[in-house]
Structure 1
Amino acid sequence: MQSTLGRIPQLAVSAKFLCLLMFACLRSQVAICGAVPGMVHSVRLHNDCSSSELQVTPQGKVFSSNSLSFNELRLESVGFGKLTIFAERSARYLCFNKRWRLVGAKKKHGKWCQWQEVMEDGFNRYRSLANLNYSLAVNPQGQPMRGEKTVLVRGRHGKRARRCGRFLKRGLNLTEAINRHNKGDHPIKQPLLPQPGHHQHRRPRS
């Protein structure tokens, strides 16, 4: 009993330190705290430079457009300040290759497929853990930018590089996702859980 009581002040100090750390992260405009490992978010990433959403095709091509075909992305925390970006419909991981080109890879390749999420002027930037100077970015035409072209430098090109690496996270359209699933149009064919008050949909014909 005494040992348990002795731990209470230590727990209180730890909780206070955690609160201060979270407050510091919220105030920072440079970096944010890492999510809990295993935390998953399904989003669409809207690029500020091309005014369209990031896409990863089943062939591994990366670009940005207004298409709704391959814009469903899953952000999964794999450690403090680390996350992976997985294209759900094409079953590909967003990575840099050894030539610093953005690709959709079938398997994760360590830090080449890991990102650090950074807050910047209300936008999200995704910096490669293989080289934190290089970011996920597409140009105004929606084409992916090589890693070295995303370095934040002074001048006109540096300003464009900063903007082209900024994204807004948007939630998925739940109704649209359900309709796609019911049509058999989703590659991950997992049964949907029936909602209260609704009958479960029949499995679509193959």
Structure 2
Amino acid sequence: MKSLISALAFGFAALGAADHAEAAPLNVATDTPLIDIPFASADFLDLGGFGDLSILGAEGLASGTPQSGTLSLDVLISFDTTDPAGTIGGALFSMDDNGAFLDGTLVQSGFDGDILQLLFGNLTGSAAADFGPFALLEAVFLFPALGTDPLSQLTDATTYDVFGTLSSATPVPLPAALPLLAAGLGGLVLLRRRS
């Protein structure tokens, strides 16, 4: 019985710790088409604990989908600076000479070392059908460099030099943890009853 109580205590502790979201690498597979962003400026403002990061007018070069003339991208994200991963929201806007190219809303964020990962869904625009349901923006902060977990390292009123890629993305489903936990606890109960 002590084993079962201990297992339940650890399970509830893990659920309680999940209340504060932590960013981690996104589990997505990327593919073409993609938009290369060789250079952009990202501006960050801390407005009393509310962070605003914007990339405006970044030039992109699309491959795997037709682009007409110049491609310009805007990325706008905002978050509570005390919990960036748990409160982040944002949008992607882009246009070429024919109008809306690829627009979307932020559905998930993460980081892989010093690479900020932003997953956009609800895609619209002329390239939306080529990208599919999701597009992943991976941005690297060149100067000043930020290191691991870029959102927590941002400094108020600072402009950052960044580069990145925006590619078609397919989320890779994670194994369902709750059925595994239930099966494990059920197994403990059965073993306990046998002895």
* TM category, shorter: under 0.3
Task: Specify which structure has the higher proportion of strand.
Answer: 2
Structure-2-length-normalised TM-score: 0.26
Given the two structures, how large is their TM-score scaled by the length of structure 1?
A: 0.25
Answer 1 or 2: higher relative contact order, Cα 8 Å, separation at least 6.
2
